[in-house]
Amino acid sequence: MTQVERHTYDVVVVGAGGAGLRAAIEAREQGLRTAVICKSLFGKAHTVMAEGGIAASMGNANPRDNWQVHFRDTMRGGKFLNNWRMAELHAREAPDRVWELETWGALFDRTKDGRISQRNFGGHEYARLAHVGDRTGLELIRTLQQRIVALQQEDHERSGDYEDRLRVFQECTVTRVLKDGARVSGVFGYVRESGRFFVIEAPAVVLATGGIGKSFKVTSNSWEYTGDGHALALLAGAPLINMEFVQFHPTGMVWPPSVKGILVTESVRGDGGVLRNSDGKRFMFDYIPDVFKEKYAQSEQEADGWYADPDNHRRPPELLPRDEVARAINSEVKAGRCSPHGGVFLDVSTRLPAEEIRRRLPSMHHQFKELADVDITAEPMEVGPTCHYVMGGVEVDPDSAAATGVPGLFAAGEVAGGMHGSNRLGGNSLSDLLVFGRRAGLHAAEYAAELGTDDRPRVSAEQVDTAAAEVLRPFSVEGGEPESRTENPYALHQELQQTMNDLVGIIRRASEMTEALRRLADLRQRSRRAAVEGHRQFNPGWHLAIDLRNMLLVSECVARAALERTESRGGHTRDDYPEMDRRWRKTNLVCELASGDGELAAVDPADGQIRLTRRDMPPIRGDLLALFGKDELLKYLTDEELDT
């Protein structure tokens, strides 16, 4: 029998970014014993890296803003593939979540008359992003952590134990969601430093593990983002949706090579920065798609007028949704009109006084000075697309964040699918984390509270043994003949990243994705022989060998769904199907584990794999459709949908 450390809680939250912390706070506030687990140090998550701000229609910058306008923008940004109920809840509840943060101590930048300042971002009709310079995520996480500490202090006063009802397990990786029959019974994982195993028994598990970017070579994502939550859900029997939609942020650093992919915040463009090609041309005017023509300026003069007088000017095309800008940059580079290191120029130095740039964009100023020896107050930056965010994720019930088909499993934040449709608007992630993190925590707590003591699912010893054997496998792989030689996890990871970058990247073709699937199958076979040396105490090679299972599963979902969707929409661009096709608008592609029932059988990476099905979304509610003009709806909905 495997040696494990055991704990029992009511709710386990996997992930300590914005979604995880907000979920944990809510579950604890409902009075339930809650554990939070994170791979890295507490406080270090993608959320902390978020720069630009939180989108919420508080109406501080423009009183005409309201939830309906935010909803419209979100649906347009997602090209109407969004789960409309999630988009509605998000737009309605985001302002409350921002004000709540303020009551918990967040210090947002202010307007001159003392209200929370809101800045412009791509695809948002009005200035809508509450921010703290370009370090908004840091303030968000700081505030949520402070709230957790406050709750722990309350518990200490009550019981003498700070961790009585809310405990953080940091530097721990969860490798399996455990089940008792159909229901969730807890999680299995290991402590990264010691390699010791642990099991947390709990009837409710909230996945809040963030993104999948580390499957791609050029990415803004950090080491933790190996699609763990996506894979954990699949392995537990829950479906993923929309996995073909991966956001390539238009502006990542392109030079020097060691920092390629690191994000250059959209705030640079929101605050006036412009994109130019090697001819000095402000090229975005050539790339305004028909669906957005009425909303975007046609000349530099009109675009520049918008910053001071948005009511009487149309928006600059640099502020089109991210998918449009990323494709435009890609086309300029392909046409040879690129910067010396294969990007384009992003210039704020000629647009704002140096002092103002340092005040509004302190992190960007620091980042370019330190990493590229570029002073952004005096010269342009070189930028190009970088894999940034996954719109696809766990299929959830919009109101409760419950994962489809697995009682006790919930998901929120980037790991959940549906909210952003085919493309996420900047700033809509931080608000998504808070709105759905809270909902997930609330409903997980309610679910757990309703179970009687005798009715709680149990963790079986066999499941624990199987989960342990799965993660220990890389220590016992032995090499042999050339065809069964051992494999280096780092080399496999590099090949995977190159495959996804080159063949399932920003522009896709059927032949390349078919080749990607072939290579992924080969990598899966080889990953069975991924071997590591040494022991379980902090062993990064071992950790990567475990993470490979997740990246391979998730990459297959992305490639299969991308091959199936024969149109271009949002974060999915097909060279061989360049048009958006209205018939695809209401179809979700659903990925499930082919082996089916999510029993805790060890996954054989050579066969498992993904079953893909098409599922129609429910029709958009009439009062929400009425927020759009008929002419606009005609661009997205089929005639039959419009008639009903």
Considering the rule CB under 6 A, would residue 242 count as an interface residue with ligand FAD?
Answer: no
Q: Which residue is nearest to ligand FAD (CB)?
A: 17
- 4-8 and 166-169: which strand pairing? unpaired
CA nearest neighbour of 617 among 595, 601, 636 = 636
The amino acid at 267: S
Rounded Cα distance, 178 and 599, in Å = 9
> Smallest distance from the beta carbon of 514 to ligand FAD, in angstroms?
30
Give the residue numbers annotated as catalytic, written as ranges. Answer: 249, 269
Q: Which of residues 588-627 bind ligand FAD (CB under 6 A)?
A: none
- Judged by CB under 6 A, which stretch of 204-212, 334-342, 552-560, 626-634 contacts ligand FAD? 204-212
Fill in the DSSP letter of residue 611. E
> Smallest distance from the beta carbon of 294 to ligand FAD, in angstroms?
26
Between 547 and 592, CB nearer to ligand FAD: 547
Compose the 122-151 pattern: x for residues touching ligand FAD by CB under 6 A, - for all others: --------------xx--------------
CA nearest neighbour of 214 among 265, 266, 169, 261 = 261
Cβ distance 46 to 55 under 8 Å? no
Considering the rule CB under 6 A, would residue 516 count as an interface residue with ligand FAD?
Answer: no
Cβ distance 59 to 69 under 8 Å? no
Between 314 and 543, CB nearer to ligand FAD: 543
Between 225 and 255, CB nearer to ligand FAD: 225
DSSP string, 122-182: TT-SS--EE-STT-HHHHHHHHHHHHHHHHHHHHHHHHS-TTSSEEEE-SEEEEEEEEETT
Rounded Cα distance, 470 and 174, in Å = 13
> Smallest distance from the beta carbon of 53 to ligand FAD, in angstroms?
6
Considering the rule CB under 6 A, would residue 18 count as an interface residue with ligand FAD?
Answer: yes
Per DSSP, the three-state class of 90 is helix
* Tokens, residue 191: 């402590």
Rounded Cα distance, 269 and 247, in Å = 18
- Judged by CB under 6 A, which stretch of 33-41, 253-261, 447-455, 589-597 contacts ligand FAD? 33-41
Rounded Cα distance, 239 and 545, in Å = 24
Label each residue of 85-98 as H, E or C: HHHHHHHHHHHHHH
Considering the rule CB under 6 A, would residue 208 count as an interface residue with ligand FAD?
Answer: yes
Considering the rule CB under 6 A, would residue 552 count as an interface residue with ligand FAD?
Answer: no
> Smallest distance from the beta carbon of 533 to ligand FAD, in angstroms?
23
Between 42 and 292, CB nearer to ligand FAD: 42
> Smallest distance from the beta carbon of 571 to ligand FAD, in angstroms?
13
Compose the 359-388 pattern: x for residues touching ligand FAD by CB under 6 A, - for all others: ------------------------------
Among 20, 186, 441, 489, the residue binding ligand FAD under the rule CB under 6 A is: 20
Among 25, 50, 87, 206, the residue binding ligand FAD under the rule CB under 6 A is: 50
Q: Which of residues 316-345 bind ligand FAD (CB under 6 A)?
A: none
CA nearest neighbour of 232 among 210, 251, 256 = 210
Considering the rule CB under 6 A, would residue 429 count as an interface residue with ligand FAD?
Answer: yes
Fill in the DSSP letter of residue 506. S
Cβ distance 232 to 415 under 8 Å? no
Distance separating the N- and C-terminal Cα atoms of the chain: 60
> Smallest distance from the beta carbon of 46 to ligand FAD, in angstroms?
3
Among 197, 198, 389, 410, the residue binding ligand FAD under the rule CB under 6 A is: 389
> Smallest distance from the beta carbon of 175 to ligand FAD, in angstroms?
7
Residue identified by tokens 């048009």 is 579
- The residue count for binding ligand FAD (CB under 6 A) is 41
Residue partners of 622: CB distance under 8 A and separation at least 6? none
Between 94 and 620, CB nearer to ligand FAD: 94
Question: What residues does 246 pair with on adjacent strands?
Answer: 390
* Tokens, residue 237: 């029997």
Between 143 and 209, CB nearer to ligand FAD: 209
Cβ distance 372 to 258 under 8 Å? no
Among 12, 25, 30, 46, the residue binding ligand FAD under the rule CB under 6 A is: 46
Cβ distance 127 to 62 under 8 Å? yes
Considering the rule CB under 6 A, would residue 433 count as an interface residue with ligand FAD?
Answer: yes
Considering the rule CB under 6 A, would residue 57 count as an interface residue with ligand FAD?
Answer: no
The dihedral built from the CA positions of residue 558, 560, 565 and 566, taken in this order, carries a sign that is positive
> Smallest distance from the beta carbon of 469 to ligand FAD, in angstroms?
18
Rounded Cα distance, 469 and 4, in Å = 13
Plot region of 280 (φ>0 → left; ψ -120 to 50 → alpha; else → beta):
left
* Tokens, residue 49: 């890296």
Q: Which of residues 161-200 bind ligand FAD (CB under 6 A)?
A: 173-174
Among 82, 120, 209, 527, the residue binding ligand FAD under the rule CB under 6 A is: 209
- Judged by CB under 6 A, which stretch of 13-21, 402-410, 526-534, 617-625 contacts ligand FAD? 13-21
Compose the 399-418 pattern: x for residues touching ligand FAD by CB under 6 A, - for all others: --------------xxx---
Chain residues that interact with ligand FAD, rule: CB under 6 A: 14-20, 37-40, 45-47, 49-53, 136-137, 173-174, 208-210, 220-221, 224, 228, 263, 389, 413-415, 426-430, 433
